[in-house]
Amino acid sequence: MADRKAEIQKRLAEIERLMGAADFWAHKERAQAIVREYNDLKAEAAGVGKYDKGNAIITIFAGAGGDDAEDFARMLFGMYRRYGEKNSWEISILHKNENDHGGYRNLTFEIRGKNAYGTLKNESGVHRLVRISPFSAKKLRHTSFAMVEIIPELPKGEAIEIPESDIAVEFARSSGPGGQNVNKRETAVRIVHLPTNLSVHVDSERSQAQNRERALEILRGKLYRLKEAEAQKEEAGFLISKTTEAEWGSQIRSYVLHPYKLVKDHRTGIEVGDTEAVLEGGELDKFIEAEKNL
């Protein structure tokens, strides 16, 4: 981290010398690119992420807990969708793996809007639900987990190169609108990044080529997030990794619906008793405001 700070300060000094030259604006496009770099580096030096002002791509994975965990993934999607709607953001599903009960084994969706990534990025991590299971004939209390991963949408042309030799690409048939008709063509795309084992699945576009390009964009975002986390030495609760499992002891937030009602963030200590307002109404402002100081 210290090396990165020194690198930023060195480059800022170089750019300031360039900007001081009499002919700096002689080549307008080059000058504008340098100014953008300067502003990005200043923001990074101040602790503001480069992509905070842009869109967010969220993946929710059901963890330990079977049907309850997959239903919990559905609930979390509803919570973030409602929060996005309240902020006038656009939400679109990129891929979903749905079970027979309407829950999700995994789900990837995009939230498009100003500051979406910067606002939501610290929601990444393991979430825990405690409730009377609707899938239990004996009406037993059940604990389930889900993992939330949030990455930035990188602008096209962003300098994160992925060699073809580093990826494995698989194609499959996409389901039609509402899970109805099965597409006869294999347009769905799954890409695995072999060095890190990160994977992306997209089936929202109409063509195989469009889904492949969209999947690569998301993979670049995942690799950026991984690089960012390593640079900041922030390992717990900020991204999916080989060592992070959605299970007991690793949660960042708990949603308890029985025997009492309480949503508690374990990092900030923020507690909210109105669980319906949080899970169904998307009332996350208290948590997100507190997360800014993490």
Q: Cα angle at 178 between 173 and 181, to 5 degrees?
A: 45
State the residue range of the domain holding 13.
2-45
Per-residue model confidence (pLDDT) at position 5: 81
pLDDT digits (tens, 9 = 90+) for 162-180: 999 999 999 987 754 444 4
pLDDT at 244: 52
Q: What is the pLDDT of residue 225?
A: 84
Q: Are residues 151 and 266 in the same domain?
A: yes
Which domain CATH number covers 62? 3.30.70.1660
pLDDT of residue 158: 64
Q: Assess if residue 78 is contained within a domain.
A: yes
- Judge whether 277 lies within some domain: yes
A 10 A CB-CB count for 234 gives 14
pLDDT score for 185: 67
Shared-domain flag, residues 25 and 105: no
Q: Do 267 and 294 meet the contact criterion of CB atoms below 8 Å apart?
A: yes
Per-residue pLDDT of the chain (294 residues; tens, 9 = 90+): 567 788 888 999 999 998 888 888 888 888 888 887 887 788 777 666 878 889 999 999 999 899 999 999 999 999 999 999 999 999 999 999 999 999 999 999 999 999 999 999 999 999 999 999 999 889 999 999 999 999 999 877 666 889 999 999 999 877 544 444 444 468 899 999 999 999 999 998 889 999 999 999 999 999 988 887 776 654 334 444 444 566 556 799 999 999 999 999 999 999 999 999 999 999 999 999 999 877
Domain-located, residue 224: no
Same domain, 74 and 199: no
For residue range 265-294, what is the model confidence (pLDDT) as tens digits? 999 999 999 999 999 999 999 999 999 877
> 283 and 243, same structural domain?
yes
pLDDT for residue 236: 39
Residue 227 in domain: no
Give the pLDDT score at 241: 43
**In sequence order, what are the residues at sequence separation of 6 or more whose Cβ sits closer than 8 angstroms to the Cβ of residue 244?**
126, 147, 236, 237, 250
Q: Answer yes or no: is 228 within a domain.
A: no
Instruction: Give CA–CA dist 22/259, Å, rounded.
Output: 71
Please, which residues have CB within 8 angstroms of residue 77's CB and are 6 or more apart in sequence? 60, 104, 107, 109
Q: Are residues 117 and 255 in the same domain?
A: yes
Total domain count, the chain: 3
Q: In this structure, are 138 and 274 located in the same domain?
A: yes
Task: Give the pLDDT score at 239.
Answer: 43
| Same domain membership, residue 128 and residue 267 | yes
Residue 41 has a pLDDT of 83
**Mean pLDDT, all residues of the chain:** 87
Within this chain, do residues 60 and 147 fall inside the same structural domain, yes or no?
yes
Query: What burial letters (b/e) apply to 78-115, b meaning 16+ CB within 10 Å?
Result: ebbbbbbeebebebeebbbbbeeeebbebbbbbbebee
Same domain for 195 and 239?
no
Look up the CATH number of the domain holding residue 187: 3.30.160.20
37 plus 63 within the same structural domain: no
